[in-house]
Amino acid sequence: MSPAKDNARVLEIGGREVRISNPDKVVFPEPGLTKIDLVEYYLAVADGALRGVDRRPMVLKRFVKGITQEAFFQKRAPEKRPDWIETATLHYASGNSAEEVVVTDAAALAWVVNLGCIDLNPHPVRADDLEHPDELRVDLDPMPGVDWSQIVDVAMVAREVLTDHGLVGWAKTSGSRGIHIYARIERRWDFHQVRHAAETLAREVELRAPGLATARWWKEERGESVFVDFNQNAKDRTVASAYSIRPLPDARVSAPLDWSEVRDSRPERFTVATMLERFAERGDPAAGIDDAVGGLEGLLALAEQLGPAEKPPRASGGGSGRRQSTMPLIEIARAKTKPEALEGLERWKARHADVVALLQPADVLVDGMRGSSSLWYRIRVNLQHVPEAQRPAQQALEVDYDPWAGKEWNRT
Tell me 167's DSSP state. Answer: -
Average pLDDT, integer, range 360-376: 77
From residue 356, alpha-carbon distances to 72, 147, 351, 388 in Å are 34, 21, 9, 14
Range of the domain at 329: 324-400
Looking at the domain assignment, is residue 104 inside a domain?
no
Spatial distance between the Cα atoms of 96 and 276, rounded to a whole number of angstroms: 40
The pLDDT, as a whole number, for residue 67 is: 87
pLDDT tens per residue, range 10-51: 999 999 999 999 999 999 999 999 999 999 999 999 999 999
Spatial distance between the Cα atoms of 284 and 49, rounded to a whole number of angstroms: 9
The pLDDT, as a whole number, for residue 324 is: 61
The pLDDT, as a whole number, for residue 80 is: 93
For the chain, how big is the Rg over CA atoms in Å? 22
CA neighbor of 272 nearest in space, from 256, 259, 288, 254: 254
Spatial distance between the Cα atoms of 333 and 141, rounded to a whole number of angstroms: 22
CA neighbor of 368 nearest in space, from 137, 213, 176: 176
Looking at the domain assignment, is residue 39 inside a domain?
no
- Are 119 and 53 within 8 A, CB to CB? no
Tell me 336's DSSP state. Answer: S
Dihedral over alpha carbons 249, 255, 261, 267 (to 10 degrees): 20
Overall number of domains in the chain: 1
- Are 99 and 10 within 8 A, CB to CB? no
Q: What is the DSSP string of 243-259?
A: TPBPSSTT-BB--EE-G
Looking at the domain assignment, is residue 331 inside a domain?
yes
Backbone φ and ψ for 78, nearest 5 degrees, come out as: -55, 140
pLDDT tens per residue, range 210-227: 889 999 888 788 888 999
Averaged pLDDT of the chain: 90
Tell me 269's DSSP state. Answer: G
pLDDT tens per residue, range 259-318: 999 999 999 999 999 999 999 999 999 999 999 999 999 999 999 999 988 765 554 444
Looking at the domain assignment, is residue 354 inside a domain?
yes
Helix, strand, or coil (residue 301): helix
- Asked if pLDDT for residue 94 goes beyond 80, the answer is no
- Asked if pLDDT for residue 89 goes beyond 90, the answer is yes
The pLDDT, as a whole number, for residue 341 is: 92
The pLDDT, as a whole number, for residue 72 is: 86
Looking at the domain assignment, is residue 121 inside a domain?
no
Spatial distance between the Cα atoms of 160 and 175, rounded to a whole number of angstroms: 23
Vertex 221: Cα angle to 216 and 224 (nearest 5): 95
Spatial distance between the Cα atoms of 212 and 296, rounded to a whole number of angstroms: 25
Average pLDDT, integer, range 47-63: 95
Helices (H) and strands (E) in the chain, counts: 9, 20
Q: Tell me what percent of the residues of the chain surpass a pLDDT of 70.
A: 92
H/E run at residue 400: strand 399-400
Tell me 181's DSSP state. Answer: E
CA neighbor of 230 nearest in space, from 208, 206, 265: 206
- Asked if pLDDT for residue 5 goes beyond 60, the answer is no
Looking at the domain assignment, is residue 265 inside a domain?
no
- Asked if pLDDT for residue 59 goes beyond 60, the answer is yes
- Asked if pLDDT for residue 375 goes beyond 80, the answer is no
Looking at the domain assignment, is residue 280 inside a domain?
no
Spatial distance between the Cα atoms of 391 and 254, rounded to a whole number of angstroms: 40
The pLDDT, as a whole number, for residue 99 is: 95
Helix, strand, or coil (residue 177): coil
Choose the weakest-confidence range: 193-197, 313-317, 351-355: 313-317
- Are 250 and 267 within 8 A, CB to CB? no
- Asked if pLDDT for residue 73 goes beyond 70, the answer is yes
The pLDDT, as a whole number, for residue 52 is: 94
Looking at the domain assignment, is residue 238 inside a domain?
no
Per-residue confidence at 373, pLDDT binned at 50, 70, 90? Answer: low
- Asked if pLDDT for residue 402 goes beyond 90, the answer is no
